[in-house]
Amino acid sequence: MQKKNILVFPCGSEIGLDIFDGVQYSTYFHLIGASSVDDHGKFVFQDYIGGMPFVTDPFFGDALKDIVKKKHIDAVFPATDMAVTCLKRLEKEIGCPVITSPLETTEICLSKQKTYDTFRNLLRTPVVFNKKPESFPVFVKPTIGHSSIGTKKVCSQTELNNALAERPDLMVLEYLPGQEYTVDCFTDKEGKLLFCGARERNRIKAGISVNTTFVSDQLPFRKMAETINSAISLRGAWFFQVKKTATGELCLLEIAARFGGSSILCKAIGVNLPLMTLFDAFGYTVRIQQAEYYVELDRALSNRFRCDIDYDTVYVDYDDCLILDNKTVNIRLVEFLFKSLNEGKKLVLLTKHEGNLKEDLKRFRLSDLFDEIIHILEEQDKSLYINETKAIFIDDSFAERQRVVENRHIPVFSPEMIDVLMG
């Protein structure tokens, strides 16, 4: 079966990166990333298109249509709230499906005002004040916004006036002091709510819960999800956020017609929302295989590197490099070595190991990893055994690395530098 080409836009957003994480090993879908800015997507998506116009640019539709045609795109997977609605509006023009809910639903979800108007009589929603509320604190947020940008607690009329002067589009809402939750959901092509998982937003950064765990009592959130799912037409992954009032009542904050930041927690229990959404979009019947165990997600910055080293051979040391403290395998280094094998590079073990090297390699299940093994004495100089000029050298010893640089003039790396080579 030929893979479906899926364009992810903007691919460098947290949602775009999570789409990649959930779909990268699929045998059914090939991901192509596209972005308007020079973002992290180019380090993650092997098939990447940069320099796209912004969604607000009048030429965006033409540029997208051109990519759909040239890259034989089967569907577009939007990865921000604004992209969801803008792309859905362009669906007929670009000539391929946009993977999200119907346009009417995305319009409601994009606007907090429309969301509250739609659900005010169905669920508890925040009280909306005029520009001069009777009491403080209040909470302000843009009618259309993302990543908590422009949102804040306001404690006085003067502070509110200043906030509204900067952003007249701010809504003035009641302040909710309680715990905040994200509820990840999935609705299939028949409109059935197949999954609902509420999780606590324990630590939040840029609007994303960077530490999150599932709540123990899911029933109140499930009831809210069923109400939302019955009131508007949803498809694929979606989520809503709620917060408790001072009396502990759950209050609806927002709904989004996409999966949420840190919904990757669901994948940890077997619910791969990006992949399920793709299968459902192409008409497959989706089933849930959910595990039951405790899991906690904590997110932090990760690093990706790009360098222009051209090499065909990898020379690597054994003690305190490939094997640490003669006890454990350096997993990250082994990952890089297998990556090198996939790229057709030659692997050479160059070591002064004092033990029985053959038996020790066998003990660590590494006997067949190397194309060549060079076992030398302690007093010998490793640089003298490096013959290839298009090579790199990995060793924990600064002295060994220095001699290789001086005598062979090839790039050298210590074990903690391996991430630079992983790309």
- Do residues 322 and 404 both lie within one domain? yes
Question: How far separated are the first and last CA of the chain, in Å rounded?
Answer: 30
Residue ending a domain, among 267, 298, 329, is 298
- Do residues 318 and 417 both lie within one domain? yes
329, part of any domain:
yes
- Do residues 397 and 358 both lie within one domain? yes
- Do residues 188 and 292 both lie within one domain? yes
- Do residues 57 and 72 both lie within one domain? yes
- From residue 15, how far is each of 83, 99, 132, 238 by CA, in Å? 11, 13, 37, 12
Q: Count of domains in the chain?
A: 4
Residue ending a domain, among 298, 330, 363, is 298
- Do residues 318 and 346 both lie within one domain? yes
pTM over 0.75: yes
Which one, of 345, 285, 258, 335, lies nearest residue 309 by Cα? 345
213, part of any domain:
yes
232, part of any domain:
yes
Q: What's 335's domain CATH number?
A: 3.40.50.1000
Q: What's 28's domain CATH number?
A: 3.40.50.20
- Do residues 190 and 294 both lie within one domain? yes
Query: Which pLDDT value is given to residue 302?
Result: 84
- Do residues 237 and 322 both lie within one domain? no
Walking along the chain (423 residues) 10 residues at a time, the average pLDDT comes out as 94 96 95 96 96 96 97 98 96 96 97 96 95 88 76 89 90 93 98 98 88 97 98 98 96 96 94 97 94 93 89 98 96 97 98 96 97 97 96 97 97 95 90
- Do residues 65 and 29 both lie within one domain? yes
Question: Could you list the residue range(s) of the whole structural domain that residue 15 is in?
Answer: 4-99
The sign of the CA dihedral 264, 266, 271, 277 is negative
| Alpha-carbon gap, residue 156 to 395, rounded angstroms | 61
Rounded to 5 degrees, φ, ψ at 153 are -80, 135
Tokens of 342: 């996939």
Residue 107 CB: number of other CB atoms within 10 A?
A: 15
Which one, of 361, 266, 380, lies nearest residue 318 by Cα? 361
- Do residues 185 and 294 both lie within one domain? yes
Residue ending a domain, among 157, 174, 191, is 174
- Do residues 36 and 93 both lie within one domain? yes
Q: What's 188's domain CATH number?
A: 3.30.470.20
94, part of any domain:
yes
308, part of any domain:
no
65, part of any domain:
yes
- In three-state form (DSSP H/G/I as H, E/B as E, the rest C), the secondary structure along the chain is CCCEEEEEECCCCHHHHHHHHHHCCCCCEEEEEECCCCCCHHHHCCCEECCCCCCCCCCHHHHHHHHHHHCCCCEEEECCHHHHHHHHHCHHHHCCCECCCCHHHHHHHHCHHHHHHHHCCCCCCCCEECCCCCCCCEEEEECCCCCCCCCEEECCHHHHHHHHHHCCCEEEEECCCCCEEEEEEEECCCCCEEEEEEEEEEEEECCEEEEEEECCCCHHHHHHHHHHHHHCCCCEEEEEEEEECCCCCEEEEEEECCCCCCCHHHHCCCCCHHHHHHHHHCCCCCCCCCCCCCCEEECCCCCCCCCCCCCCEEEECCECCCEECCCEECHHHHHHHHHHHHCCCEEEEEECCCCCHHHHHHHCCCCCCCCEEEECCCCCCHHHHCCCCCEEEECCCHHHHHHHHHHHCCCEECHHHHHHHHC
- From residue 416, how far is each of 38, 154, 394, 397 by CA, in Å? 27, 46, 10, 12
305, part of any domain:
no
306, part of any domain:
no
- Do residues 288 and 185 both lie within one domain? yes
